[in-house]
Amino acid sequence: MPTVKFLEFDGSEHDIEVSAGTSVMRAAIDNGVPGIDGDCDGQCACATCHVFVDPAWLARTGERTVSEEELLSFASAAEPNSRLACQIKMTNALDGLVVRMPAGQH
């Protein structure tokens, strides 16, 4: 099964197996990875699953959706490599994906 490496803001690492088709947000919540809240349960309606995608992986996660772009524009620490984890669906091609959590979700 493909794996995602979640890096907490303080550097702690979590290597989580995520089956293809599951969102990165869902995997974090279901596996108790701290630093991702997912308040809207993956509906792209908040910005509390904000992650920084490792630049080497960013292009492979695909493009931000229109709503995602909008919501990220309000996130306090958004960067060019920011994405909402609920919009990244796991695939075998993303095996080894690395994402970093911000200091806090808002």
Partner 1 sequence: MDSVSLEHVRDDAYAIPLDRLDVSEASRFQNDTIWPYFERLRKEDPVHYCNDSLFGPYWSVTKYRDIMAVDTNHKVFSSEVSSITIVERTEEDRNPMFIAMDPPKHDEQRKTVSPIVAPDNLAKLEGVIRSRVSAILDGLPRNETFNWVDRVSIELTTQMLATLFDFPFEDRRLLTYWSDVATTVPKAGQEIDSWEKRAAIMSECLAYFTRLWNERINTEPRSDLISMMAHSPATRNMAPREFLGNLILLIVGGNDTTRNSISGGVWFMNQNPDQMRKLRGNPALVPSAVSEIIRYQTPLSHMRRNALVDTTLGNKKIKAGDKVIMWYISGNRDDEVIENADSFIIDRKNPRQHISFGFGIHRCVGNRLAEMQIRILWEEILSRRLDVQVVGEPERVSSNFVHGYSALPVRVAA
Q: Which residues contact 69 (CB under 8 A, 6 or more apart)?
A: none
Is 33 near partner 1 (CB under 8 A)? Answer: no
Member of 5, 31, 37, 54 binding partner 1 (CB under 8 A)? 37
The answer to whether 94 touches 17, Cβ cutoff 8 Å, is no
The answer to whether 46 touches 53, Cβ cutoff 8 Å, is no
Is 71 near partner 1 (CB under 8 A)? Answer: yes
Q: Which is nearer to partner 1, 46 or 98 (CB)?
A: 46
Is 74 near partner 1 (CB under 8 A)? Answer: yes
The answer to whether 102 touches 72, Cβ cutoff 8 Å, is no
Summarize as ranges the residues that interact with partner 1 (CB under 8 A): 37-41, 43-46, 48, 67, 70-71, 73-74, 76-77, 102-106
